Amino acid sequence: MKILLTVHQFFPDYYSGTEVLARDTGLEMLSRGHEVHVLTVDPKNDRAKTLNLSYEEYDYAGMQVHAIGLPSQRRLLDRVRDEYDNELVARHVRQYVERLKPDVVHMFHISRLSGSVIEVFKELNVPLVFTPTDFWAICPMRTLMKPSGELSTGPDDISSNCLECREVERLLPKEQLPQASSRPEFYRKIAERALAKSENEPPGMELVRAMLSRTTFLREHFNMVDAIFAPTKFMHHALTANGIDQELVSLSPYGMDISRFRSGKGHRDRNGGLRLGYIGTISSHKGLHVLLEAFKNLPQPGRVTLRICGALDTFPSYARKVYDLADGDPRINFAGPFPNERIAEELSKVDVLVVPSTWYENTPLIIYTAFATGVPVVATNLGGMAEVVRHEENGLLFELGDLEDLTRQLKRLIDEPELLTNLKNNAGNVRTVEDSVDEMLALYERLFARRESPTGRAGA
Name all domains of the chain by residue range, CATH numbers in brackets: 2-131+223-255+433-452 (3.40.50.2000), 162-211 (no CATH), 258-426 (3.40.50.2000)
End-to-end CA distance of the chain: 19
Sheet with 304-309, side-by-side order of all strands: 332-334, 304-309, 274-279, 352-355, 377-380, 395-398
Which one is predicted more confidently, 193 or 299? 193
pLDDT at 267 over 60: no
**Cβ neighbours, 10 Å, residue 394:** 24
pLDDT in tens, 443-452: 999 999 998 8
Average pLDDT over the chain, rounded to whole? Answer: 92
Mean per-residue pLDDT, 78-97: 96
Pairing of strands 377-380, 304-309: unpaired
Mean per-residue pLDDT, 365-390: 95
HSE, CB side, 13 Å, CA atoms: give it for residue 50: 9
Name beta bridge partners: 37: 4, 64
Contact present, 7 and 108 (Cβ < 8 Å): yes
Percent pLDDT > 90 in the chain is 83
pLDDT in tens, 191-207: 999 999 988 888 899 99
pTM: 0.92
